[in-house]
Amino acid sequence: MQAAAIAAPAPALPALPDFRQIYEANVGFVWAYAARRGIPRAQLDDVVQDVFLAVHQSLASFAGRSSLRAWIAGVVRHVVTGHIRKASPFSHALEASEDAPFLSDATTAAELLDRKEKAELAHRVLDKLTDRSREAFVMYEVEERSGSEVATALGVSENTVRMRVRTARRSLRLEIRKERAQQVAV
Protein backbone atom coordinates (compact mmCIF):
# COMPACT_ATOMS: atom_id res chain seq x y z
CA MET A 1 0.00 0.00 0.00
CA GLN A 2 2.78 2.41 0.84
CA ALA A 3 4.62 1.66 -2.38
CA ALA A 4 1.57 2.88 -4.31
CA ALA A 5 1.58 6.10 -2.29
CA ILE A 6 5.01 7.08 -3.59
CA ALA A 7 4.46 9.71 -6.22
CA ALA A 8 5.84 9.30 -9.69
CA PRO A 9 8.64 11.73 -10.52
CA ALA A 10 7.52 15.01 -12.08
CA PRO A 11 7.74 15.00 -15.86
CA ALA A 12 10.93 16.61 -17.12
CA LEU A 13 10.70 19.86 -19.03
CA PRO A 14 11.38 19.53 -22.74
CA ALA A 15 14.94 20.42 -23.62
CA LEU A 16 15.37 23.98 -24.80
CA PRO A 17 17.18 24.71 -28.04
CA ASP A 18 20.66 26.09 -27.61
CA PHE A 19 21.10 29.83 -27.22
CA ARG A 20 22.15 30.36 -30.85
CA GLN A 21 18.90 28.77 -32.06
CA ILE A 22 16.88 30.86 -29.61
CA TYR A 23 18.65 34.00 -30.83
CA GLU A 24 18.17 33.23 -34.52
CA ALA A 25 14.50 32.33 -34.05
CA ASN A 26 13.69 35.44 -32.01
CA VAL A 27 16.00 38.31 -33.00
CA GLY A 28 13.53 39.75 -35.51
CA PHE A 29 10.70 39.52 -33.01
CA VAL A 30 12.77 41.21 -30.28
CA TRP A 31 13.94 43.97 -32.62
CA ALA A 32 10.40 44.71 -33.86
CA TYR A 33 8.94 44.52 -30.34
CA ALA A 34 11.49 47.04 -29.02
CA ALA A 35 10.95 49.35 -32.01
CA ARG A 36 7.19 49.36 -31.48
CA ARG A 37 7.73 50.26 -27.84
CA GLY A 38 9.40 53.51 -28.87
CA ILE A 39 13.09 52.66 -28.69
CA PRO A 40 14.86 55.02 -31.12
CA ARG A 41 16.44 53.31 -34.13
CA ALA A 42 19.89 54.43 -33.01
CA GLN A 43 19.47 52.47 -29.77
CA LEU A 44 17.71 49.35 -31.06
CA ASP A 45 20.84 47.25 -31.53
CA ASP A 46 21.95 48.00 -27.97
CA VAL A 47 18.53 47.13 -26.56
CA VAL A 48 18.37 43.88 -28.53
CA GLN A 49 21.83 42.98 -27.27
CA ASP A 50 20.74 43.73 -23.69
CA VAL A 51 17.66 41.56 -24.14
CA PHE A 52 19.64 38.57 -25.34
CA LEU A 53 22.22 39.06 -22.62
CA ALA A 54 19.38 38.89 -20.08
CA VAL A 55 17.88 35.87 -21.86
CA HIS A 56 21.24 34.09 -21.81
CA GLN A 57 21.80 34.87 -18.14
CA SER A 58 18.37 33.72 -17.02
CA LEU A 59 17.62 30.92 -19.49
CA ALA A 60 18.24 28.30 -16.81
CA SER A 61 15.37 29.81 -14.80
CA PHE A 62 12.86 29.34 -17.65
CA ALA A 63 10.32 27.01 -16.03
CA GLY A 64 8.19 26.28 -19.10
CA ARG A 65 4.97 27.72 -17.62
CA SER A 66 4.52 29.67 -20.85
CA SER A 67 5.91 29.50 -24.35
CA LEU A 68 9.53 30.50 -24.77
CA ARG A 69 8.44 33.42 -26.97
CA ALA A 70 6.07 34.71 -24.28
CA TRP A 71 8.86 34.46 -21.73
CA ILE A 72 11.23 36.34 -24.05
CA ALA A 73 8.53 39.00 -24.55
CA GLY A 74 8.52 39.53 -20.80
CA VAL A 75 12.31 39.97 -20.86
CA VAL A 76 12.01 42.47 -23.73
CA ARG A 77 9.32 44.37 -21.86
CA HIS A 78 11.52 44.62 -18.78
CA VAL A 79 14.63 45.72 -20.70
CA VAL A 80 12.71 48.24 -22.83
CA THR A 81 11.08 49.75 -19.75
CA GLY A 82 14.52 50.22 -18.23
CA HIS A 83 15.88 51.87 -21.36
CA ILE A 84 12.92 54.22 -21.64
CA ARG A 85 13.33 55.30 -18.03
CA LYS A 86 17.00 56.07 -18.65
CA ALA A 87 16.49 57.74 -22.03
CA SER A 88 17.61 61.31 -22.42
CA PRO A 89 15.05 63.87 -23.56
CA PHE A 90 17.04 64.25 -26.79
CA SER A 91 16.93 60.59 -27.84
CA HIS A 92 13.80 61.02 -29.94
CA ALA A 93 15.41 63.79 -32.00
CA LEU A 94 17.91 61.23 -33.28
CA GLU A 95 15.12 58.86 -34.20
CA ALA A 96 13.37 61.44 -36.37
CA SER A 97 16.49 62.03 -38.46
CA GLU A 98 17.25 58.32 -38.90
CA ASP A 99 13.77 57.09 -39.70
CA ALA A 100 13.49 58.58 -43.16
CA PRO A 101 11.06 56.36 -45.05
CA PHE A 102 12.39 53.89 -47.57
CA LEU A 103 11.34 55.01 -51.01
CA SER A 104 10.80 52.88 -54.03
CA ASP A 105 10.91 54.31 -57.51
CA ALA A 106 7.12 54.05 -57.64
CA THR A 107 6.52 56.09 -54.48
CA THR A 108 5.03 59.46 -55.28
CA ALA A 109 5.23 62.54 -53.11
CA ALA A 110 1.46 62.31 -52.48
CA GLU A 111 1.77 58.68 -51.32
CA LEU A 112 4.66 59.59 -49.07
CA LEU A 113 2.75 62.50 -47.56
CA ASP A 114 -0.33 60.30 -47.05
CA ARG A 115 1.76 57.63 -45.27
CA LYS A 116 3.41 60.25 -43.10
CA GLU A 117 0.06 61.80 -42.13
CA LYS A 118 -1.41 58.40 -41.25
CA ALA A 119 1.64 57.47 -39.18
CA GLU A 120 1.51 60.80 -37.34
CA LEU A 121 -2.21 60.31 -36.66
CA ALA A 122 -1.57 56.81 -35.33
CA HIS A 123 1.20 58.08 -33.05
CA ARG A 124 -0.91 60.98 -31.76
CA VAL A 125 -3.85 58.71 -31.06
CA LEU A 126 -1.78 55.94 -29.45
CA ASP A 127 0.02 58.51 -27.28
CA LYS A 128 -3.32 59.46 -25.75
CA LEU A 129 -3.85 55.92 -24.40
CA THR A 130 -2.64 54.88 -20.99
CA ASP A 131 0.63 52.93 -21.03
CA ARG A 132 -1.19 49.76 -19.96
CA SER A 133 -3.87 50.00 -22.65
CA ARG A 134 -1.38 50.94 -25.36
CA GLU A 135 0.94 48.06 -24.49
CA ALA A 136 -1.86 45.47 -24.48
CA PHE A 137 -3.33 46.90 -27.70
CA VAL A 138 -0.03 46.89 -29.59
CA MET A 139 0.86 43.38 -28.49
CA TYR A 140 -2.60 42.00 -29.32
CA GLU A 141 -3.58 43.97 -32.42
CA VAL A 142 -0.32 45.01 -34.05
CA GLU A 143 1.92 42.08 -33.12
CA GLU A 144 -1.05 39.67 -33.42
CA ARG A 145 -0.15 37.80 -30.25
CA SER A 146 -2.70 35.63 -28.48
CA GLY A 147 -4.48 36.83 -25.37
CA SER A 148 -2.66 34.27 -23.26
CA GLU A 149 0.74 35.37 -24.62
CA VAL A 150 -0.06 39.01 -23.87
CA ALA A 151 -1.30 38.09 -20.41
CA THR A 152 1.89 36.16 -19.67
CA ALA A 153 4.13 38.95 -20.98
CA LEU A 154 2.30 41.60 -18.96
CA GLY A 155 1.80 39.47 -15.86
CA VAL A 156 -1.99 39.91 -15.85
CA SER A 157 -5.02 37.72 -16.52
CA GLU A 158 -6.47 37.22 -19.99
CA ASN A 159 -9.63 39.04 -18.84
CA THR A 160 -7.50 42.06 -17.97
CA VAL A 161 -5.90 41.91 -21.43
CA ARG A 162 -9.33 41.79 -23.10
CA MET A 163 -10.52 44.73 -20.99
CA ARG A 164 -7.45 46.82 -21.84
CA VAL A 165 -7.72 46.04 -25.56
CA ARG A 166 -11.45 46.84 -25.58
CA THR A 167 -10.80 50.12 -23.74
CA ALA A 168 -8.00 50.99 -26.17
CA ARG A 169 -10.20 50.27 -29.21
CA ARG A 170 -12.96 52.48 -27.83
CA SER A 171 -10.51 55.30 -27.06
CA LEU A 172 -8.86 54.98 -30.46
CA ARG A 173 -12.18 55.19 -32.32
CA LEU A 174 -13.12 58.29 -30.34
CA GLU A 175 -9.73 59.97 -30.84
CA ILE A 176 -9.69 59.20 -34.57
CA ARG A 177 -13.15 60.74 -34.95
CA LYS A 178 -11.95 63.86 -33.10
CA GLU A 179 -8.78 64.09 -35.21
CA ARG A 180 -10.73 63.73 -38.48
CA ALA A 181 -13.29 66.31 -37.37
CA GLN A 182 -10.49 68.75 -36.60
CA GLN A 183 -8.89 68.10 -40.01
CA VAL A 184 -12.19 68.71 -41.80
CA ALA A 185 -12.72 71.93 -39.82
CA VAL A 186 -9.32 73.18 -40.94
Query: In terms of domains, do 92 and 131 share one?
Result: no
Residue bearing the bigger pLDDT, 2 or 119: 119
Report the CATH number that the domain containing residue 117 is assigned in CATH. Answer: 1.10.10.10
Residue bearing the bigger pLDDT, 143 or 101: 143
Query: In terms of domains, do 180 and 147 share one?
Result: yes
Cα 42 to Cα 24: distance, rounded to the nearest angstrom: 21
Residue 121, in any domain of the structure? yes
Residue 1, in any domain of the structure? no
| Residues in CB range of 44: below 8 A, 6 or more apart | 31, 34, 35
Phi-psi region of 180 (alpha: psi -120 to 50; beta: other; left: phi over 0): alpha
Structural domain ending residue among the three candidates 80, 99, 118: 99
Residue bearing the bigger pLDDT, 156 or 117: 156
Sign, Cα dihedral of 90, 31, 136, 121: positive
Mean pLDDT check: name the lowest of 7-21, 129-143, 148-162: 7-21
Query: In terms of domains, do 64 and 139 share one?
Result: no
**Which domain, by its residues, includes 55?**
15-99
Question: Residue 141 has what pLDDT?
Answer: 85
Residue 141, in any domain of the structure? yes
The pLDDT mean for the chain works out to: 77
Q: Give the pTM.
A: 0.50
